[in-house]
Structure 1
């Protein structure tokens, strides 16, 4: 959430930032509603103050046996008693409207974010590795998986409907191996603390990281009002909600391997074959909580940590700087890591790493105490996939495909595969 004081002082900057995102100007509407709220707050405070002073004046008038003045003051008190609740309710209503409006305004892009409309305007930051050089024909992951007998979409549909997958035997083992490898890399070498956290959260947690209220249709909700997490960013970031941290304890770095649940409400007709876009998928999440001075450098560090997963797996990828129109709601800057998929003959996103500034910190009321002057500031937050396990499995399947339809297990996964070096067709 943006600071209303900043919006008051920088209305043109807000509208310029929204224009970069392809959104309409909002400063005039926000400021008008804020002025109305402040006027109502002042009016309520004046009435409350007058009620208190009139009560004392009535006592003084009665002590002086000034019945006429006492009756006049009592009449004024009666009027205040009648009108004050309505004014208080109106102030609460307008305040709630302002909070809702502010909660739906996206974050301000950093100055070095390329201005653009959509993914076609993203910029290549770097390209790592090379495309596989084998001569046999590539296949898409679902062709490989079904050919091996370890990927079943019909049974998944029988169980749960569309956009679910059943993996068995050696492919299920490789999916688990990938997640374990990612966790071990990030905790042992990259300094992240592993967290096992809930998969269901309350409204406040979804609001804190920006999923609510704007993106409720993208989420799954339980019958008792909890939400299934669309990413462990929600739980890991909200670990510090409502807290005051010491600056010298920052950054905090968390990682978790969890299922993620998404309704894919806006993806009808997209990626309907295979397991690229699922309602449920495993993801290794990275979250950092930093101070204002460190967040930009932390963004580069986090992206490098995610890239290292693909480097160790020997996968070809490119890292893209997202343009202003393609960034997520809460991001100030985002790098997307796109892995090469031979079966599709294209790059597909496998990780998205974003720096959010104090946007989420303000929503969560998470602050840190400055070490030098002891002032309180909202924390800066970052999140990234380190990486999406299902998409990483797809990339390994397509890039390590052999001519006979088997899959060679990447060297880095061998310690997790129980002696399996090649995934071959079920007997």
Structure 2
């Protein structure tokens, strides 16, 4: 959430910066400015009314002490009127504050200066590519056919149990899935991230804190009776560990990693680009989250990118990195790098990770602050990334490591799963 002071002082600059997202935020920022002015004016009026009422109360006490009951009773009538006025002003203030908060929730984060202009994924900027794309035999299959051939993932059985987008992993497929989770967590822990186990359902305050609500409310599964949401990523519960916290400056960096299943309603359309593991309603992911001092957050972002590079190099998967353009940038992010692995059998790039710096945007919603060396309270920076999302990593392994005799397992995963081939 953008800070009100920044909107008051730099409204035109913010409008220009948000244009990089392909939106005209003029009307929205004007509304925020008007609501803020109304709220502050009401607060000033309320403060004056309460001060006047307190002053009269003291005068009434003095009058009763000196035997001037008649004069005291006259003032009591005035204090009654002031109490009614203050109640009305309080209701008006609460209404204004609620409207202001809702308006602020509608404003996306301001893109970092390095974010390229553009409105679609075609405008994203490729900044890195590594790894040789393997040459497969003429009979190479996409992963959904390999899964059926070797009986390691059953999409139809998932439909029977729940519906489309909920696959069942079987035998070596389940073991490979578990191996990837353990490998990712071990890599993250070795890099200094503290492993956490967190709830898979969160309350509304948590969704608001990280920005999934109200922006992505329709994409989240909602448990109506309990008013809880199934998490779309571990980012939500892990980042909310720090909600309403005031940390010391020397506590930075704060680094967490967690494995969770993830639930998303938007799995959507039909076609090869969403077949098999390409897009699911339920999937597994290992996440990394950092809370940083503002002066170090972009160095930390670069470090996260290098960390994920290391994982993909060990898996020996061809990958590239994109800097997302303004129009493709997530609502809460200031800068995002997407990692994509090349699926040789599908002849296309598959997104497997997004690594983002949110700067103070989430921290402002979370009321996550630190105390600097001068004793002042300031907003921290938050970052997160997938390290990694399993479905498309698994798809890339199955497709790129297939041979005429079966599917080889990346060497780094063999100790985790206990076999070196599927076949």
TM-score range, shorter chain: over 0.9
| Partner in structure 1 of residue 329 of structure 2 | 327
Give CA-to-partner distance per residue, 1:365-415, whole Å, 9 cap, x none: 111222x323222111100000101111100001001124x1111111110
Residues 1:422 and 2:417 aligned together: no
| Partner in structure 1 of residue 200 of structure 2 | 199
More moved, 80-89 vs 30-39: 80-89
Change (3 A) 1:191 1:78: closer
Deviation at 1:269, TM superposition (A): 3.6
Deviation at 1:83, TM superposition (A): 2.5
For 2:237, which of 235, 238, 253 is the aligned residue? 235
What CA distance in whole angstroms lies between the structure 2 residues aligned with 1:137 and 1:69?
Answer: 101
| Partner in structure 2 of residue 412 of structure 1 | 412
Deviation at 1:288, TM superposition (A): 0.8
What CA distance in whole angstroms lies between the structure 2 residues aligned with 1:245 and 1:230?
Answer: 27
- 1:239-250 matches, within 5 Å, as 239-250=241-252
Aligned length: 419
| Partner in structure 1 of residue 13 of structure 2 | 13
SS in 2 for 1:239: helix
Q: Which runs of 5+ in 2 are unaligned?
A: none
Give CA-to-partner distance per residue, 1:150-201, whole Å, 9 cap, x none: 221111101001111111011111111111111111212x221111111122
RMSD: 1.7
What CA distance in whole angstroms lies between the structure 1 residues aligned with 2:319 and 2:215?
Answer: 32
Deviation at 1:62, TM superposition (A): 4.8
Retained in 1: the 8 A contact 2:137–2:403?
no
| Partner in structure 1 of residue 379 of structure 2 | 378
What CA distance in whole angstroms lies between the structure 1 residues aligned with 2:143 and 2:37?
Answer: 56
Retained in 2: the 8 A contact 1:139–1:342?
no
- 1:106-255 matches, within 5 Å, as 106-188=108-190, 190-222=191-223, 223-255=225-257
Retained in 2: the 8 A contact 1:367–1:379?
yes
Deviation at 1:78, TM superposition (A): 2.8
Deviation at 1:248, TM superposition (A): 1.6
Taking structure 1 as the reference length, the TM-score comes to: 0.94
- 1:237-386 matches, within 5 Å, as 237-264=239-266, 267-269=268-270, 271-370=273-372, 372-386=373-387
Change (3 A) 1:82 1:159: same
Deviation at 1:272, TM superposition (A): 4.3
Q: Which runs of 5+ in 1 are unaligned?
A: none
SS in 2 for 1:230: coil
What CA distance in whole angstroms lies between the structure 2 residues aligned with 1:157 and 1:309?
Answer: 32
